[in-house]
Structure 1
Amino acid sequence: MSRPAFRLADFAGFASRRTSLDLNDYQRLWAWSVSDLTAFWGSVWDFFGLPARSPGEPVLADDRMPGAVWFPDTALNFTTEVFRNRRPTDVALIAVSETGPDTTLTWAELETQVAAAATGLAELGVGHNDTVVAYLPNGVEAVVAFLAAASLGAIWGLCGTDYAPGAAAARLAQLRPKVLIAATGHTHAGRAHDDSAGVDELRAALPGLEHLVLVGETSAAFDGHVITWSDLTADRTGTLEPVLLPFDHPLWVLFSSGTTGIPKGIMHGHGGVVLEHLKLNALHLDLGPGDRMLWYTTPSWMMWNALVSCLLVGAAIICVDGSPAHPRVDQLWAIAARTEATVLGTSPAYLSACRRAEVNVRGHHLAALRTVGVTGSTFSAGLFSWLANQIAPAARIAVTSGGTDVVTAFAGPSPWLEVRPGELSGPCLGVALEAVDPDGAPVRDTVGELVVTRPMPSMPLGFWDDPGGGRLHAAYFSTYPGIWRHGDWITVTGRGSVVIHGRSDATLNRRGIRIGSADIYAIVEALPYVREALVVGVEEPHDGYWMPMFVATADDVELTDHWKAEIRSAIATGASPRHVPDDIVQVPAIPHTRTGKKLEVPIKRILGGESPESVLDPTSVDAAESLTFFHDLGIARAHHRSD
């Protein structure tokens, strides 16, 4: 069994002593954390030893949403907190690639590299409020460059080399960076990619760029001010001296998926990220010194930022550059065993692939592993049970759900809460999460909109290039004034657990009955001949409504009428007759965002007659070639109606 959850218990005891309340129960602790934000977040600040505050300094000076003002009189720096009180010889980072041996850095070695990169960036003129962007795989250079830029008060932006240059430019060009740090090549699934031409294309698309820093070898000729990563970090004699910054000084800009328009740049601040990620990593995941966190992610996804933030609690991070399923489907488990990961994070899509391939997780030596984290898309009860059978009782499952918008989880695990298939254990501390009906009234044991009724420190400072805040307000606060609406359908159970049903903007609304797509997927994707499914509801003329389901089969099985009838029967029995789709269509692949989310809303719009190019950037999705199929199907259906 996993060791006791000392960190949550220690914090609860700390908070109980300073408030004279009994907070040694999760529900009581959570209720206090959202009813007295000043006491809770002040306790988080002090418990983790953040910079001393003067008596009377406010924690939450203004609790409006949007516009909350946190810790207005304090100063800190993300990079300072990463290296505070670390043991120099302990492991801080392990980088894994497909092309060579693992690279291991101690805390002292990581700090030396960050100091050198910070010196190099400063010599290029980088300082407060300049932007530094990168086009890099998940390796040492990405982590070092980010921490160096943050130490100087620069604003960070990052896209992984899994993005095409045009998709990266659609995001990074918005930031008008002073410096671009880019890799000249990467390897994925055994295939080497020369990215030199792509880097040149990206550089040309960045207005006002002053410097290009190249990581890796290249034979290409680059014009302008170009230096190598080795030259940038040549000075290894300096001391890392991060500048103190206001709590809400911008730390990074993360980007939305780009599947519903131009990717939105979402700004988060140093203080909000430090507080939120200390809380999440230490109190919910029980991470600390001696732990090793391996969360498989690309640098383009917020989970890369969450991975790096594990350094804040003194845990080592394991950065994997390459495919988690090469040369074998179980490669990620092999990496976790070799690097002695204590927490392994992955996606339902990867776990589904492991189940289909009949991977024997127990065949790997996972003696150090105590938690498997899961996020990114809906995690069915059936897949949960498969994973539990593979890892229990030595490790437990930690399911989280959050968003790039707040760069943290709304609901997730707690060492003190039971883990049930198909559910998240409960709302996270400090997150005033509710499910509400269309009038904004809280509901229990029934589907409602996910809202947050009190501010969180990591809510966005704003959107990039949105000086009046109009786009931010429209995105989150226009439906329920003063309340954050996230756009997910959830059920908060009477036990306090949370069930995610999918995006509310992808609602299936059949004859006035709202249906969650996740409820259908949980049934259909448990069938052995189904690899994946996607269901949408399309409004048609004269009050028509068409609800098709698209199915990609396992091992290219032909979806005969027999199998379609079995699917319909399974849905009618497992959910209800109204959940049964109008049509079942076999497709070669289901398209996703780069983070694995199904494109329900874009596909709905494409089937409704909009062109794929007007709905999304095809380079921001996988299986982009399948979009033409959906577009042609929508046109054919429109022609059929008009005949």
Structure 2
Amino acid sequence: MPHIDETMTPEVKELWRPSIPEATQIYDFMTKVNKKYELSLSDYEGLWKWSVSEPAKFWEEIWHYTHIRAHEPYKNVMESKQAMFPRPAFFEGSTLNFAENLLYPAANPDENSIAIIGATEADREFISWKELRERVRQCANALKEAGLQTGDRVAGFVGNNATTVVAMLAATSIGAFWTGVSPDTGVHAVLERLKQIQPKILFADNASLYNGKIHRSHAKVREIVSELPDLERLILIETAKSLDFDIREVRPQNGQAVTLEQFLSAVQNQAAPLQFTSLKPEHPVYILYSSGTTGAPKPIVHGSLGTLLQHKKEHLLHCEIRPGDRLFYFTTTTWMMWHWLVSGLASGATIVLYDGSPFRPFDVEGGNGEMAMPRLIDELQITHFGTSAKYLSILEQAALNPSKHQHRPVSLKTMKAIFSTGSPLAPSTFEYIYSSIHPDIMLGSITGGTDILSLFCSCCPILPVYTGEIQCRSLGMAVSVFDHAGKDISASGEPGDLVCTTPFPAQPVMFWPPGPAGLEKYRKSYFDVFGPSVWHHGDFVCLNPQTGGVVMLGRSDGVLKPSGVRFGSAEIYNILLKHFADEVEDSLCVGRRREGIDTDETVVLFVRLAPGSTTDVKELSSRIQSVIRKELSPRHVPGVIDVCPEIPVTSNGKKVENAVKQILCGLNIKIGASVANASCLEWYRNWVSENP
């Protein structure tokens, strides 16, 4: 994609257009809004403008259209549509329970139909709605007898499986706050999170299966438990049944350790019914954490109604998920997309949980595992498939065409949509999806964040898909693009900061701990730049005035500014993927400007060569610079290109640009444990000493 400046808008190609937009739920919603308010909205742009100009009316209609199950009705939809900080109240007077809305969706699916499919590299588990409710009932009653109360914290050191969902629903049915961390996370990173919130109960898997191997968690669990003095009970889930595990070695300092089976069987009143605590809309349901790549992660607390409303709006209206559809997202329990996936239950969909490598079981006949996920789609009849942009780019680099695979091709006939997030999806990957994966699906490149546990910009089943663009700004989300001075430049097509200018229910309810310290963290995180009426998200984007689509250009803190020209690292990554995929496996692009040394910023590009590559580095650098100069501009050309052994990433696979940038700029920073491969940062420190 050409660089977007004052005189240029992106050249895009239409790849997909919905065949019957009138048959969608979002069209039905628009029709009902027109009738009720005597409007004549006829397209998405008109509906979006109404949703952000009349937020109280819009969110009230979402409440009714998505059939929120409440114990007490609301008295007022929203407190204010002006200031976003402090967070305004929504739907005051109402009471509800998050878990109840997921376990008893308004769609009222047959209790014997499938609610959850749990899949690993080797096994499948099919759980009906009836069985899911029964398992939650048993677990909730056991938690109550263990003394769990509303407001307590429950943590999970657990994989993406059905037992994790049961534990979360059981905890939130009581009004406890759930926080999850994936078992592949290092002990230090786990404790950076859990020591801040001090959980009362911890669920932990005894092992995880990944890439054909069983990874025991005994040593990790023992270390974690020993550092949590307020932990009263460890509940060990025997994910791997055959492992010897002395549970006495992991007993909390002042509590008990039991297996899940022991925990459930010890309940005195085995016939006690499942009850749902009636709670205010802002009552917390989840605690998630900021990335923590350059310091301790901040615990972000999300409310029950805001999460529920936003997810149901996105699933029904933006993603066209209906009762009986099968929703999959390749995610860990740490990532916000796990929570987004689980909320699919509230729309009556079947959710598919996968725990394992995306490239297992290996394609024995073909000699690789690239077909593992396409075959899972066919086997489990998945309709909506979600993953990361990185995974899709790997398939693109491998030139995989599942329907024409030489060994056991797949049809993917049930698939209606592919969702991608985590990093910008390159324009070439858009074209690859439609040419090699499926010609007639909605490709939903989406963006939001842990901060809002939902989406700012998303897909839309009544809009076309264009190369390199997120289809639209989400309903009810007053997304604009601001320059550094706070001027709205959305209509110009110029790049700038993604902001939101109207309150929305999915704003965090607080940062932990409650009180002034947490409130100040909240303010500084989003309202330090443009004030209390403008949410500053930290993404660098532009809006295409012709299509209404959004182009992601990277993170604001990673914006490159050589000679004062601002552009995002994603523009460089897209060029490498399009032209150098066979030679460059991965890359990292950052700016270097040292205080008192450099008068201007130098763009530095690190490339990790493809395995077995014999490419001459000097010649490759010259070619990369030439292509960037031709396709972007001379000002985009990296001043330094060098080969690195590894790219630092978070546990969710996101590139850690800011830590490397600060190392290159000579800043003495503390690297957070959220950098999954933090040891590789030593190479960058050495690089600095060798390249003064």
* Separation in 2, partners of 1:544, 1:634: 17
**For the structure 1 residues 462 and 88, does the alpha-carbon distance in structure 2 shift closer, same or farther, using more than 3 Å as the test?**
same
CA contact (8 A) 1:247 1:269 kept: yes
How far off its partner does 1:636 sit?
2.7
Within a 5 Å distance, the mapping from 1:469-548 to structure 2 comes to 469-481=519-531, 482-494=533-545, 495-526=547-578, 527=580, 528-540=582-594, 541-542=596-597, 543-548=599-604
Indicate the SS of the match to 2:466: coil
Question: Which of 96, 113, 120 pairs up with 1:76?
Answer: 96
User: Residue in 2 aligned with 1:588?
Assistant: 645
Within a 5 Å distance, the mapping from 1:31-430 to structure 2 comes to 31-51=49-69, 57-63=75-81, 64-66=83-85, 67-84=87-104, 85-98=108-121, 100-216=122-238, 217=241, 218-220=244-246, 221-222=248-249, 223=251, 224-234=255-265, 237-326=271-360, 327=362, 328-362=369-403, 363-430=409-476
How far off its partner does 1:473 sit?
0.6
CA contact (8 A) 1:276 1:408 kept: yes
Query: Percentage identity across aligned positions?
Result: 33
Q: Which moved more, 1:410-419 or 1:532-541?
A: 532-541
How far off its partner does 1:331 sit?
1.2
* Separation in 2, partners of 1:501, 1:62: 32
How far off its partner does 1:392 sit?
3.2
* Separation in 1, partners of 2:61, 2:635: 49
How far off its partner does 1:466 sit?
5.2
Indicate the SS of the match to 1:44: helix
User: Residue in 1 aligned with 2:8?
Assistant: none
Counterpart AA for 2:293: T
* Separation in 2, partners of 1:330, 1:56: 49
> How big is each residue's C-alpha offset from its partner over 1:444-469, in whole Å with a ceiling of 9 and x where there is no partner?
21111100000110111111125221
User: Residue in 1 aligned with 2:683?
Assistant: 629
CA contact (8 A) 2:442 2:461 kept: no
CA contact (8 A) 1:411 1:427 kept: yes
* Separation in 2, partners of 1:621, 1:260: 9
CA contact (8 A) 2:178 2:285 kept: yes
Matched, 1:26 2:44: yes
How far off its partner does 1:137 sit?
0.7
Please, which runs of 5 or more residues in structure 1 have no aligned partner?
A: 639-643
> How big is each residue's C-alpha offset from its partner over 1:294-317, in whole Å with a ceiling of 9 and x where there is no partner?
100011100001010111101111
* Separation in 2, partners of 1:437, 1:155: 38
Q: Which moved more, 1:202-211 or 1:292-301?
A: 202-211
CA contact (8 A) 2:401 2:437 kept: no
Higher relative contact order (CA 8 A, sep 6+): 2
How far off its partner does 1:591 sit?
1.5
> How big is each residue's C-alpha offset from its partner over 1:296-346, in whole Å with a ceiling of 9 and x where there is no partner?
001110000101011110111111101101221221222121111000001
User: Residue in 2 aligned with 1:599?
Assistant: 656
Indicate the SS of the match to 1:147: helix
> How big is each residue's C-alpha offset from its partner over 1:531-569, in whole Å with a ceiling of 9 and x where there is no partner?
221111111234243321000122342342221111011
Indicate the SS of the match to 2:76: coil
* Separation in 1, partners of 2:514, 2:435: 48
* Separation in 2, partners of 1:89, 1:620: 41
* Separation in 1, partners of 2:328, 2:142: 29
* Separation in 2, partners of 1:467, 1:329: 49
CA contact (8 A) 1:450 1:489 kept: yes
How far off its partner does 1:356 sit?
2.3
How far off its partner does 1:123 sit?
0.8
* Separation in 1, partners of 2:659, 2:445: 26
Q: Which moved more, 1:135-144 or 1:394-403?
A: 394-403
* Separation in 2, partners of 1:634, 1:610: 11
How far off its partner does 1:55 sit?
8.4
* Separation in 1, partners of 2:299, 2:588: 28
> How big is each residue's C-alpha offset from its partner over 1:221-273, in whole Å with a ceiling of 9 and x where there is no partner?
33341111112333664432211100000101001111021011000101101
* Separation in 2, partners of 1:24, 1:127: 49
CA contact (8 A) 1:295 1:345 kept: yes
* Separation in 2, partners of 1:333, 1:635: 46
CA contact (8 A) 1:212 1:226 kept: yes
* Separation in 2, partners of 1:348, 1:315: 24
CA contact (8 A) 1:609 1:631 kept: no
* Separation in 2, partners of 1:97, 1:202: 25
* Separation in 2, partners of 1:242, 1:477: 35
How far off its partner does 1:354 sit?
1.4
Indicate the SS of the match to 1:547: strand
User: Residue in 1 aligned with 2:365?
Assistant: none
Q: Which moved more, 1:336-345 or 1:217-226?
A: 217-226
CA contact (8 A) 2:24 2:462 kept: no
CA contact (8 A) 1:91 1:107 kept: yes
User: Residue in 2 aligned with 1:460?
Assistant: 508
User: Residue in 1 aligned with 2:25?
Assistant: 7
* Separation in 2, partners of 1:592, 1:52: 41
Within a 5 Å distance, the mapping from 1:570-581 to structure 2 comes to 570-581=627-638
* Separation in 1, partners of 2:170, 2:459: 32
* Separation in 2, partners of 1:215, 1:180: 10
How far off its partner does 1:34 sit?
0.6
TM-score (structure 2 length as normaliser): 0.89
Q: Which moved more, 1:12-21 or 1:255-264?
A: 12-21
How far off its partner does 1:365 sit?
2.9
User: Residue in 2 aligned with 1:555?
Assistant: 611
TM-score (structure 1 length as normaliser): 0.96
**For the structure 1 residues 55 and 352, does the alpha-carbon distance in structure 2 shift closer, same or farther, using more than 3 Å as the test?**
closer
* Separation in 2, partners of 1:166, 1:212: 19
CA contact (8 A) 2:388 2:421 kept: yes
How far off its partner does 1:587 sit?
1.3
How far off its partner does 1:590 sit?
1.4
* Separation in 1, partners of 2:677, 2:342: 29
CA contact (8 A) 1:252 1:268 kept: yes
* Separation in 1, partners of 2:65, 2:624: 53
Indicate the SS of the match to 1:455: coil
How far off its partner does 1:56 sit?
8.0
How far off its partner does 1:635 sit?
2.5
* Separation in 2, partners of 1:91, 1:53: 27
Indicate the SS of the match to 1:595: coil
How far off its partner does 1:191 sit?
1.8
Q: Which moved more, 1:259-268 or 1:436-445?
A: 436-445
Q: Which moved more, 1:472-481 or 1:19-28?
A: 19-28
* Separation in 2, partners of 1:114, 1:3: 39
* Separation in 2, partners of 1:447, 1:260: 26
Please, which runs of 5 or more residues in structure 2 have no aligned partner?
A: 1-17, 363-368, 404-408
How far off its partner does 1:3 sit?
7.2
Indicate the SS of the match to 2:460: coil
CA contact (8 A) 2:70 2:95 kept: no
* Separation in 1, partners of 2:440, 2:463: 17
User: Residue in 2 aligned with 1:641?
Assistant: none
CA contact (8 A) 1:211 1:225 kept: yes
